[in-house]
Amino acid sequence: MYILKVLVEHSSYQLDRTFDYLSNDYVETGCRVSIPFGRQKIIGYVTECYQTDKTKHQLEEEKGFRYSFIIQIIDQKPLLNKELQELAKYMAKQTLSTRISCLQCMLPIQLKPKSQKTVGIKYEKVISFIKEIPLKTPKQQEALNYIKEHPLLPVKDCPYSLVVLNNIEKQGAIQIIQQEVYRDPYHENIQQNDFPLTPMQQKVVNEILLCHDFQTYLLHGVTGSGKTEVYLQLSRHIIEQGKTVLMMVPEIALTPMMVAAFKSRFGKQVAILHSKLSSGERYDEYRRIVEDEVKIVVGARSAVFAPLEKIGLIIMDEEHDASYKQESNPRYLTSQIARWRGKYHECPVVLGSATPSLESYSRALKGVYHLCSLPKRINQKPLPTIEMIDMVEEIKHHNYDLLSNKMKTKIQETLDKNEQVMLLLNKRGYASYMRCLSCDEVLKCPHCDVSLTYHKDSKTMRCHYCDYQIPFIKKCSHCGSTNVKLIGSGTQKIEEYLENNFLNARVIRYDVDSTRKKDGHHELLKRFENQEANILVGTQMIAKGLNFENVTFVGVINADLSLNIPDFRANERTYQLLEQVSGRSGRGKKQGTVMIQTYNPDHFVLQCVKNHDYQMFYKKEMEIRQLAKYPPYCYLISVLVQGKKEEEVIWNAKQMKEYLKKQLPHVGVLGPAPCTIYKMSDIYRQRMTLKVTKTDHLYETLQMMMDYYNKKGKVNVICDFNPYTT
Ligand code: ADP
Ligand code: ZN
Ligand code: ZN
């Protein structure tokens, strides 16, 4: 008989521990079993299994509790290999979450223990040739010859009718069988060859290939410097050595060109993991990785858990991107997981960006990471020239329009030359909010502490947090006045404005709303690439990874929107956003220009963007961080306290602060203060921010505090290491 230690996920049981069960058979760790739990039957993971000579009765006498037998072994082979099981332990500790939640987040949804979903394996009818025999008709004979030349031909691809095939099958020359197939989400097959690398690219590739151990490289390459080509050729070398590559991108849907590049170079050796695949497609891609059929995995955040064996290289493109931080439990930082796996596989980890995060760049300067640079665009193409437009001046000249006169002229010129324009407005929807001019009330979401946004296509006012929506009525809900006004402007309004003000404008709007459909991103970008439209207007989604050769003008409608976010990273985010979006201009043969509209043209961030001076930005921003004691000069931990009753949230948060100050005297505790969005979906939220330089006793103290309050159940406490939103 065997004793098993089983991890379970149970809503009434949040603590991280295993339960003992008995089994007559040996079960490998990492396999799932179904077990009785109270009166329920649930599913858990086996984390240990050892033999015992004792009987159930003897064990119970000895331990003083009752043992149950498992009901069934679900997996014959462990779902997660040894490496990923180890990783789950590390992650649980680093993120203060349960080991089961870490294991869960590594699996595709179909394999999660709690999942009710079952996605079947897909089968397809294929024709199997059996033997050559004389057939009844010449047509059948002809078909048989064809089949002989096309082994395992899918029935649907066969030029002969099913009637003919059935007749041949009856005579015993062929057999129609069911064969397992993979759903392939990317059927396009364009073959593309490697470019000869430039000397600078070659130098980077050589340097990284020399490394046969764990080392983190920070590849700082300006936009258009050919980082993608470096990734591709590094990957080729690694798979030629018989190893595999993990290629991470911020969001697949936003980086279709990276996916296309890998697919066209490596074809079926690549698996793509992302959220917009159907669950069947995703499951199939996952199985192809498990079955060792792919050499390269391209995917967004969760792909960092791809069950690849023999990893020889891990790449994280756009390493600064906020999407690499998981914002729900377990709140991991992708680069931390990537580096753990790099250590495990003794391979290099490459973090690439035109605008590295301050954390990474400071590590590179300290020598923790190895810095590689591509400071020039390919073929010495100049970076676009950037002009700041002072919107205060526009108002002085009585222009209250969304666009300055200069930008209008420039857009018209660009369109007239048959070139394309990209416009950034970091706000979706039509107008930001509705204000009553009589009583000054703003129409807000009743569940969240934010204003509702007007959506023109559906004529609704919507909450961007909980998706609450009501029909748009031109009347104040507070005083009943009809003297209300839509204020501010989002992407939908700009779209309309452009269509009304530029005769030859053909506009595509690219934001969360316009790309909701499964292939939404792809379709819109294809249309822009095919010149069906000449203006692409969008939110920060247009800033990443797009490469359109005919775009020669990029306009930023309001740079101040992101500078004024109440977040210590506001400057950094703005620098990154503006540098990235500027980089979309002039990537082809023609020189590109950029205009940025702002009310603060002298702001140092904007000046650094104008001069493409990352080093200067880094220097100045680091001074600010040092003065204010923010990362990278310390680690931040956010402690979120939330609950339905406002007084309880406030009172408990204060108690926690006292506890933390006593237990962790070397840690600075800010707050508790209401979160930027104080009320979300009827839950009140207070936050404390810890500034940490020494981690002594840190994990244990926080874990104890969380366990205590979460068990009591009045409020819910979440600790977030390296939070990305405040
Ligand atoms: P980044 O990712 O650094 O912004 P890309 O990898 O998109 O830059 O490269 C910019 C452009 O330069 C692309 O059109 C790419 O095809 C081209 N390119 C990259 N490397 C080379 C090379 N060695 N020779 C010629 N063209 C190249
Ligand atoms: Zn809401
Ligand atoms: Zn009113």
Residue pLDDT, tens place only, 606-626: 999 999 999 999 999 999 999
Q: Is 547 in the pocket of ligand 1 (CB under 6 A)?
A: yes
Residue among 563, 580, 539, 569 nearest 724 (CA): 569
What CA–CA distance (Å, rounded) separates 192 from 236?
13
Q: Is 318 in the pocket of ligand 1 (CB under 6 A)?
A: no
DSSP 543-600: GSS---TTEEEEEES-THHHHTSSSTTHHHHHHHHHHHHHTTTT-SSS--EEEEEES-
How sure is the predictor about 183, in pLDDT bands with cuts at 50, 70 and 90? low
Q: Which residues make Cβ contacts (< 8 Å) with residue 22, sequence separation at least 6?
A: 1, 2, 3, 4, 56, 59, 67, 68, 69, 70
Give the distance from CA 333 to its chain's centroid: 11
What CA–CA distance (Å, rounded) separates 174 from 183?
26
How sure is the predictor about 120, in pLDDT bands with cuts at 50, 70 and 90? low
Q: Is 244 in the pocket of ligand 1 (CB under 6 A)?
A: no
Point out the least confidently predicted range of 26-30, 148-152, 221-225, 321-325.
148-152
Helix (H), strand (E) at residue 350: strand 348-353
Q: Is 582 in the pocket of ligand 1 (CB under 6 A)?
A: no
By percentage, how much of the chain surpasses pLDDT 70?
Answer: 92
Q: Is 585 in the pocket of ligand 1 (CB under 6 A)?
A: no
Whole-Å CA distances, 90 to 14, 103, 350, 407, 692: 18, 11, 21, 52, 20
Is residue 476 part of an annotated ligand binding site?
A: yes
Closest residue CA from atom 15 of ligand 1: 226
What CA–CA distance (Å, rounded) separates 657 from 531?
58
What CA–CA distance (Å, rounded) separates 36 from 137?
63
Residue among 475, 492, 485, 489 nearest 431 (CA): 489
Q: Are strands 420-424 and 535-538 parallel, antiparallel or unpaired?
A: parallel
Average pLDDT on 212-237 reads 95
Average pLDDT of the residues of the chain: 87
DSSP 649-685: HHHHHHHHHHHHHHH-TTSEEEEEEEEEEEEETTEEE
Closest residue CA from atom 5 of ligand 1: 226
Atom index in ligand 1 nearest the CA of residue 221 equals 3
Higher pLDDT, 94 or 450: 94
Whole-Å CA distances, 481 to 439, 440, 441, 484: 8, 11, 11, 7
Point out the least confidently predicted range of 61-65, 512-516, 535-539.
512-516
Pocket test for ligand 1, best of 225, 228, 576, 580 (most atoms within 8 A of CB): 228
What is the set of domains in the chain, with CATH numbers?
2-111 (3.40.1440.60), 123-180 (1.10.10.10), 199-374 (3.40.50.300), 386-429+489-627 (3.40.50.300), 635-721 (3.30.70.600)
Does residue 657 have a pLDDT over 90?
yes
Is residue 347 part of an annotated ligand binding site?
A: no
Q: Is 167 in the pocket of ligand 1 (CB under 6 A)?
A: no
What CA–CA distance (Å, rounded) separates 675 from 640?
9
Is residue 675 part of an annotated ligand binding site?
A: no
Atom index in ligand 1 nearest the CA of residue 374 equals 3
How sure is the predictor about 722, in pLDDT bands with cuts at 50, 70 and 90? confident
Closest residue CA from atom 18 of ligand 1: 226
Average pLDDT on 555-581 reads 87
Whole-Å CA distances, 276 to 109, 288, 361, 540: 13, 18, 32, 19
Cross-strand pairs, 216: 349
How sure is the predictor about 714, in pLDDT bands with cuts at 50, 70 and 90? confident
Cα–ligand 3 centroid distance for 434 (angstroms): 10
Does residue 360 have a pLDDT over 80?
yes
DSSP 599-660: S-TT-HHHHHHHTT-HHHHHHHHHHHHHHHT-TTSSEEEEEEEEES-HHHHHHHHHHHHHHH
Q: How many other CB atoms are found less than 10 A from the CB of residue 540? A: 19
Atom index in ligand 1 nearest the CA of residue 228 equals 6
Q: Which residue has the tokens 């002969």?
A: 160
User: How much is the pLDDT for 186?
Assistant: 55
Whole-Å CA distances, 126 to 8, 158, 163, 590: 42, 9, 15, 51
DSSP 45-83: EEEEEEE--S-HHHHHHHHSS---B-SEE--SS-SS-HH
What CA–CA distance (Å, rounded) separates 726 from 724?
7
What CA–CA distance (Å, rounded) separates 235 from 312?
9
Q: Is 228 in the pocket of ligand 1 (CB under 6 A)?
A: yes
Q: Is 223 in the pocket of ligand 1 (CB under 6 A)?
A: yes
Q: Is 686 in the pocket of ligand 1 (CB under 6 A)?
A: no
Is residue 634 part of an annotated ligand binding site?
A: no
Whole-Å CA distances, 527 to 24, 361, 509, 590, 684: 61, 37, 11, 21, 44
Q: Is 226 in the pocket of ligand 1 (CB under 6 A)?
A: yes
Point out the least confidently predicted range of 10-19, 64-73, 524-533.
10-19
Atom index in ligand 1 nearest the CA of residue 225 equals 3
Average pLDDT on 369-388 reads 92
In tens, the pLDDT along 258-301 reads: 888 898 899 889 998 876 677 777 788 888 898 889 999 999 99
Atom index in ligand 1 nearest the CA of residue 196 equals 23
- Find the DSSP H helices in 372-419: 391-396, 405-416
**pTM for this structure?**
0.82
Tell me if residue 342 falls in helix, strand or coil.
helix
User: How much is the pLDDT for 628?
Assistant: 86
Closest residue CA from atom 12 of ligand 1: 226
Atom index in ligand 1 nearest the CA of residue 222 equals 3
Does residue 184 have a pLDDT over 70?
no
Average pLDDT on 156-163 reads 84
Residue 497 structure tokens: 């404005």
Ligand of minimum distance to the alpha carbon of 232: 1
Ligand of minimum distance to the alpha carbon of 465: 2
User: How much is the pLDDT for 128?
Assistant: 81
- Find out whether 512 and 493 touch, Cβ atoms under 8 Å: no
User: How much is the pLDDT for 122?
Assistant: 63
Q: How many other CB atoms are found less than 10 A from the CB of residue 75? A: 16
User: How much is the pLDDT for 12?
Assistant: 54
Cross-strand pairs, 306: none
Is residue 608 part of an annotated ligand binding site?
A: no
Q: Is 356 in the pocket of ligand 1 (CB under 6 A)?
A: no
Ligand of minimum distance to the alpha carbon of 483: 3
Whole-Å CA distances, 68 to 34, 41, 44, 350, 553: 12, 12, 14, 48, 69
Cα–ligand 2 centroid distance for 301 (angstroms): 27
Q: How many other CB atoms are found less than 10 A from the CB of residue 295? A: 23
Residue 216 structure tokens: 């983190």
